[in-house]
Each structure stands twice: as structure tokens, then as C-alpha cells.
Amino acid sequence: MASLSFKNVVKQYGSGKTAVKVLHGVDAEIKDHEFIVIVGPSGCGKSTLLRMVAGLEEISGGEINIGGRVVNDLEPSERDIAMVFQNYALYPHMTVFDNMAYGLKIAKVPVAEIKTRVDKAAKILELGHLLDRKPRALSGGQRQRVAMGRAIVRQPQVFLFDEPLSNLDAKLRVQTRLEIQKLHRELGITSLFVTHDQVEAMTLAQRMMVMNAGRMEQFGTPEEVYNRPATTFVASFMGSPPMNLLKQAPNADFGGKPGAILGIRPEHLQVGNTGWAVQVDTIEMLGAERLVYCRLGNEFLIVRTDESLSSAPEIGSTIHVAPRMDRLHWFDADSGKRI
């Protein structure tokens, strides 16, 4: 197990005027045993950064350090990492045991040691009764656990997860998230987990790197990122539904700042007799809560209400909503950065 650091890490394709820069200088210090989630939309550079740690992409500039070693020029096999891919990448003609043991056999680990490691990983992942099966006889969730088991037996310094839950259905994603959390508690191996799903990021991360267009917009705990987003991008990306960002709302009554955007989470808007007069556009019923989509002049905003609201407002009606004064967020209108 090891710490991991990025120092002004750059990635570009091509050179000169035709060069395309996809990572613009990433700096981060990751502690030993930490579980870090790299989250962002498609094309933001998160998988490229992970592949650079793995040695599958060359580093154009800067430095990646694993356990006190600069690994820029090391081959993947020399970096002491193990990677779990989105597509499982299991050998269809091999049993579960052989899939998990294959890397160790190539490394000429003694047979007895291989069996000990595979049996231990199988116990952790509850795969003991499946060791003689082949991948075609497994469910998607079981195949993903085999892929994780193959990484565990390597006993690496760092785990790398490249969107490993994307191919699972919603129920299996939740179950596998819990298994990954349990796995990290038991093994404590430094981990990088890439996802575009902000729910996965919030539930799994000890700290998260929020990426946008090749830049790290914020690096912090889920609580820090959600409660004090550093930019309008983070505010709108992290949260379901996203934060309301209002440019033309009547801000004066709420401590409005010149040249600033007002941010307010949907759950921090309270329906009552005072506040902004908004027109109800549509309503989503989500069991114990409702999402009320409203129009405020030329702005749109979402209000989250729970079942304690005596009755749902009618579509087309006017209601009053007031933001909680202790939950306001202000961002510079030009830069998008938090004020």
C-alpha cells in the first residue's frame, strides 16, 4: 500500500499548433489507504488520468509518484498496481479460480501461495462456491466480483477502478457499491475509482476529484464538495437534482451581490406564504418526496418537498418559495468561482 501524488500532470495528443491538450496540469496528494473517486462528465479526462497512473497512457508533462517512486517511465508491470475494468476482461475458457490465479501463475508465484491468495479473496467476495464455474455461468455482478478478486490476489500498492459498475443494473450497482466499501475497509489499499455517476462518487469517496474539461475543479470530501462547491460547474454537477443557479432572481432581499450568481439547493427552498412568487411548471412524484419544477420570470428552479406538505400544488398555479438564508451560495458571474 502506498501514497500517490500528481504534480502538474499534463496530457496532450500531437505537438505544435495541432496539439490537443486533454489534461491541463493536475495537482493532488493522495494519502496511503485513501479511497479517492475521480468524477466528471464524459470527455473530462478522468479515465485518461487513471490510465496514466496505470502506465497505459504516456505522461506528456509533470510527475506521477506511487509510494515514493516517480513512475512516469515505468512499464505497467513495474508499477505495482491492479486495475478493474468496466468490461470485466475475464477469460471465457477458464474457471473462476484460474481467472483469479492467472496473473500470479505468470509471475511464477508458488502453487500453494496462489491457492492461499485465491481462497482468501474468494472468501472476502463470497465466491468460494463459484470457483469451478466459467464466466458464462455467472451473473454480471458475479463476473465483476471475479474481476475484483483477480485484482485482490495481486496484493498491489494501488487499486484502479475504471467505471466498474457501468454494465450493472441499478440494483446490482447498489449491491456492488456496498461490496467495494466493505472490501476497502478490510484491505485498506489505496484506491482510485473513476465514474461519471455523482451518486457513486458521493457514496464511495473518502475524498473526490471533480473533473471538468481536463481540469480539477475541486478536491475534497463529499460533504465539502456538496456543501461548499468551488464553482458553478461543481454546484450543478454534484447533486441530484442539481443546485439551482439563478442569474436574474430578485436577490436584493437575500443579500444579493453585484455580478454574482445565486445558488440554492432544491431541498433548501421552503414552500410557504412568503418569498418568491413562482409558477408551477411540472411535478415529479418520487415516493416520499416531490420535485416541483417552477418558473421565476425567465429562470427555472427546482423545489424538493417531502410528504409533510399538506397537498401538492397544482400545475400552472402560483406558489411562494423562500431560500434558507444559511444555505445560500454565491458565485462570480464571469469566472464561475465561489465568492
pLDDT in tens, 11-23: 999 888 888 999 9
What whole-number distance in Å separates Cα of residue 99 and Cα of residue 104? 10
* pLDDT at 252 exceeding the cut of 60: no
Q: Do both 248 and 224 map to the same domain?
A: no
Average pLDDT over residues 18-41: 95
Mean pLDDT of 221-238: 96
Q: What is the maximal distance between C-alpha atoms in the chain?
A: 74
Q: Are 274 and 322 in contact (CB under 8 A)?
A: yes
Residue 337 belongs to a domain: no
Give the pLDDT of residue 251: 52
Q: Are residues 232 and 250 in the same domain?
A: no
Contact in structure between 28 and 5 (CB atoms under 8 Å): yes
Is-cis flag, bond preceding 241, omega within 30? yes
Q: Please, which pLDDT band fits residue 171 given cuts at 50, 70 and 90?
A: confident
In this predicted structure, which of 93-102, 147-156, 189-198 has the lowest mean pLDDT? 147-156
Q: Which residue has the higher pLDDT, 55 or 176?
A: 55
- Whether residue 263 sits in one domain with residue 198: no
Q: Is 223 helix (H, G, I), strand (E, B) or coil?
A: helix
**Average pLDDT, stretch 190-216?**
95
Question: In this structure, what C-alpha cell is assigned to residue 51?
Answer: 490510465
Which three cell numbers, joined as nine digits, stand for 316? 400552472
Tell me if residue 127 falls in helix, strand or coil: coil
Q: What is the pLDDT of residue 231?
A: 97
Domain of 218? 4-236
Q: Is the pLDDT of residue 254 over 80?
A: no
Sheet holding 276-286, edge to edge: 269-272, 318-323, 276-286, 289-296, 299-306
In a domain, 338, yes or no: no
pLDDT of residue 281: 95
Q: Do 158 and 187 fall into the same domain?
A: yes
- The pLDDT tens digits of the residues spanning 282-330 come to 999 888 888 999 999 889 999 998 866 666 788 999 999 999 999 999 9
Q: Are 26 and 8 in contact (CB under 8 A)?
A: yes
**Rounded Cα distance, 311 and 317, in Å:** 13
Same domain for 209 and 123 = yes
Sequence-ordered strand ranges (E) for 34-97:
35-39, 61-66, 69-70, 81-84
The domain boundary residue, chosen from 236, 266, 283: 236
Whether 118 is covered by a domain: the verdict is yes
For residues 87 and 218, membership in a common domain is answered with yes
Helix (H) or strand (E) holding 262: strand 260-264
Same domain, residue pair 51 and 174: yes
Regarding whether 320 and 204 lie in a shared domain, the answer is no
For the segment 166-181, the average pLDDT, to the nearest whole number, is 85
DSSP per-residue string spanning 206-222: SEEEEEETTEEEEEE-H
Residue 156 falls within a domain, yes or no? yes
**pLDDT at residue 26, rounded to an integer:** 97
Percent of the chain topping pLDDT 70: 95
Alpha carbon dihedral 194, 199, 204, 208, in 10-degree steps, equals 60
| Least confident window among 165-169, 214-218, 248-252 | 248-252
pLDDT digit string (tens) for 101-152?
999 999 899 999 999 999 999 988 889 999 999 999 998 888 988 998 999 8
Ranges of beta strands (E only) in 81-235 are: 81-84, 158-162, 190-195, 207-212, 215-220
Q: pLDDT band at 256, cuts 50/70/90?
A: low
Count up the domains in the chain and report the number: 2
**pLDDT, position 175:** 85
Q: What is the mean pLDDT of the chain?
A: 91
Q: Given this model, what pLDDT does residue 310 score?
A: 61
Query: Band of the pLDDT at 249, cuts 50, 70, 90?
Result: low
Cell of 180: 467495494
Name 323's bridge partners.
Answer: 269
Which pLDDT does position 88 carry in this prediction?
A: 79
Domain termination site, one of 183, 213, 236 = 236
Are 173 and 96 in a shared domain? yes
Instruction: Give DSSP secondary structure letters for 269-290.
Output: EEEESSSEEEEEEEEEEETTEE
- Residue ending a domain, choose from 204, 236, 268: 236
Residue 275 sits in the same domain as residue 162: no
Q: Which of 32-36, 59-63, 73-77, 84-88 has the lowest mean pLDDT?
A: 84-88
d(CA 195, CA 180): 14
CA 182, distance to chain mean position in Å, is 17
Query: What pLDDT, on a 0 to 100 scale, did the predictor assign at position 44?
Result: 94
- What pLDDT score does 1 carry? 67
**pLDDT on residue 257:** 64
> In this structure, are 59 and 138 located in the same domain?
yes
